[in-house]
Amino acid sequence: MSSEHIGESSRTARRTPGNVGRSMIGEDIALTLKIVVAGGFGAGKTTLVGSVSEIRPLHSEETLSGNGRGRYETDGMERKGTTTVAMDFGRITVHAGLTLHLFGTPGQDRFRFLWDELYEGALAAIVLADTRRPGDCFAAVDYFERGRIPFVVAVNRFPGAADHTEHDLARALDLDRGTPVVPCDARDRAFGKEVLIRTVEYAGRMHTARPLASVG
């Protein structure tokens, strides 16, 4: 996929508040929504985007350097040899009239300067939590809460990881009340699609509730 195509997708997503690109098809309205996939290094962001995308996903991975590898030599990360340096991009049609553009963010702290650009105009976000290192997603959770961007925490369980419940993880991350925490297997398309649907539904409720609250 060309950079021009991705740029156009991003611009389309910014045309209206809430990142809803609308085009009339007969009497129907086609919606294109931007969803950001965030989380710590190695949490499964690239895997999730790739597993659900109906097009060949765009990845911007580079070989993990010695300096970058240092802090990830334990906790099941020994075999990971690449890291996302810009973004991942994928697309999925949830049903007729609703298409999601997925933007996966870099997990390493040194690429955090890209976040503002990638998060601009997003309807909502998914924070992938690795139960081996749940603290790695603190930065993303804090960013979305401060920016008032609706998000869902998807618990990507790895073999041999501690069996934390969704409730335990919500308390550990000090999530705002009502923030959904859902199980996920980033490798499984059905799991990934269900997480995306939950995210869109939750974002819809949040974006509807805020104007009503301001009127009240």
Please state the three-class secondary structure of 150-212 as a single string.
Answer: CEEEEEECCCCCCCCCHHHHHHHCCCCCCCCEEEECCCCHHHHHHHHHHHHHHHHHHHHHHHH
Closest to 179 (Cα-Cα) out of 191, 187, 171: 171
Q: For residue 49, what are the CA distances in angstroms to 85, 91, 107, 152, 206?
A: 15, 8, 14, 15, 24
pLDDT, mean of residues 143-148: 92
CA distance 86 to 59: 8
Whether 9 shows a pLDDT value over 50: the answer reads no
- For 74-105, write each residue's pLDDT tens digit: 455 555 455 544 588 999 998 888 999 999 98
Q: Is 146 helix (H, G, I), strand (E, B) or coil?
A: helix
- Degrees, nearest 5: CA angle 64-60-53: 125
CA distance 115 to 38: 9
pLDDT recorded at residue 17: 38
Taking the CA atoms of 72, 74, 75 and 81 in sequence, report the sign of the dihedral they define.
Answer: positive
Q: Are 87 and 117 in contact (CB under 8 A)?
A: no
Whether 39 shows a pLDDT value over 60: the answer reads yes
Strand partners, 163: none
Task: State both tokens at 157.
Answer: 């369980």
- For 49-73, write each residue's pLDDT tens digit: 999 999 998 876 545 555 544 454 4
pLDDT, mean of residues 120-148: 92
**How many percent of the chain have pLDDT more than 90?**
44
pLDDT, mean of residues 128-138: 89
Q: What is the mean pLDDT of the chain?
A: 78
Q: Are 154 and 51 in contact (CB under 8 A)?
A: no
Q: 120 — phi, psi (to 5°)? A: -60, 125
Give residue 11's pLDDT band: very low, low, confident or very high (50, 70, 90): very low
Whether 172 shows a pLDDT value over 70: the answer reads yes
pLDDT recorded at residue 133: 86
How many CA atoms lie less than 13 Å away from 3 in the CB half-sphere? 3
Whether 130 shows a pLDDT value over 80: the answer reads yes
pLDDT recorded at residue 27: 44
> When comparing pLDDT for 68 and 45, which is higher?
45
Whether 19 shows a pLDDT value over 80: the answer reads no
Whether 33 shows a pLDDT value over 50: the answer reads yes
Whether 213 shows a pLDDT value over 50: the answer reads yes
Give residue 111's pLDDT band: very low, low, confident or very high (50, 70, 90): low
